Structure 1
Amino acid sequence: MRPLWKGAISFGLVNVPVKMYAATEKKNVKFRYLHRDCNAPVEYKRVCSNCKKEVPYEEIVKGYEYEPGKFVVLEDEDFEALPQEEARSINIVEFVNLSEIDPVYYDKTYYLTPQETGEKPYQLLKQVLKEKGKVAVCKVVIRSKSNLSCIRIYDEVLTLETMYFPDEVRNPKEELEIEEQPEVMSRELEMAGQLVDSLEGEFQPENYQDEYREHLMDLIKAKIHDEDVTIPERPKDERVVNLMEALEKSVDLVKEKSG
């Protein structure tokens, strides 16, 4: 796997040369749009909305629409003049407890591995994070964008989690119409607790698969070979309106499955 980025973690006066790799990948099934008449892929062209002509890349600039139909153009030198973190540096600004960062702030995960001259400072940072039980909050520039992020340990590897800035996280109290909370009866809470207890377990990610993607690929393979494919029927929706009845039936179903 080729690194996406090479740079250094700035840890006080200590530099930790590292390489960055994508930690995750989407497994979505990719489709292309085709012309129904001949099954040829549909092409997309960059056409000026005013001139009605195709525009080559060298004639394209970036513009910010500050009013409908009105734009201000920014050139490459405008972006270069903006103050931001060093392009090849992950600057640690503070150490905090992992529990203090709500998962809503996390965006994308990257693995960090040491470069040839960085093995010892890499191990030093990893060990001190482990012993102190902390994560490192830092700033880093990735693809010309300044990112809030944190460094933590995952499976004995330093991991960079890019994060949303506070103004990028919507406030549910301001954005949503939350109605007055209804009162929960003690019996309902007791039954819900039993349901939680009956489903309690340790998270084992290998126990979960993308069943929709598997069925979709079976369908695609069958169509390639002009075969029939059997799609499993969806389970019947046996939704129960009464909350207490739904809880009791849910507990009974779990007990039946567990034997």
Structure 2
Amino acid sequence: MKIDLNCDLGESFGRYTLGLDAEVLPYVTSANIACGFHAGDPTVMAATVVLAEKNQVALGAHPGLPDLVGFGRRKMQITPAQAQADVQYQVGALAAFSKNGKLHHVKPHGALYNMAAQDYELARGICLGIKAVDPTLILVGLANSQLIKAAQDIELPCAQEVFADRNYLADGSLVPRSQPNALITDEQTAVDRTVKMIQTQSVTAIDGQQVALKPDTVCVHGDGAKAVAFVQKIHAALLAADIEVTAL
């Protein structure tokens, strides 16, 4: 049994620093790097790629909606064609900073991710944008979502993602961040549930229902006060449960 641990990184901007990228990287296997639309800038992108390569983690793009002020978490009216172009632009930009001009995976960010998880045509636009840059890139999307279906339909490699610190609804979607129970704030609860999700290939929704899923990768967040300790705990718990932590 194996699993990938991914983290969203490179979300600083100019003189504003966000996240504990250097501290978290030793404990994850994949990095999703912001591409300048919702966070990050060219200098931050370049530095984060160097940091990720130094730590020998899989290099991924984290394209979002063009909304720096809202950190890409606000819904926007966007057509599938616009999503395709925006994603292609961001993925291509990040790839240019890597040593060999190639990336490993792409994970949409925030509202773009959540919208595409439920909107097949938007998801297809995102997948086409990724495929236009490199058809071998792996699309990372919410388990059982339209993102996964769209990737499979156009024969784009994909990986099903679960979240260590987010609660789920009965339909398999994430509880919106606007709701008070969106996040699991108790570290041990999150760690135990993550291990159980991988072992049982299911998660308990907030109404008690069991949701079947087949996780390939777990998202851990590196921007909280206790982020590093949390990631360390999850990494250690997975190894203790004989689950290999390795890139996709």
Q: Taking structure 2 as the reference length, what is the TM-score of the superposition?
A: 0.21
More helix by share: 2
Q: Taking structure 1 as the reference length, what is the TM-score of the superposition?
A: 0.20
Bigger RCO (CA 8 Å, 6+ sep): 2
Bigger radius of gyration: 1
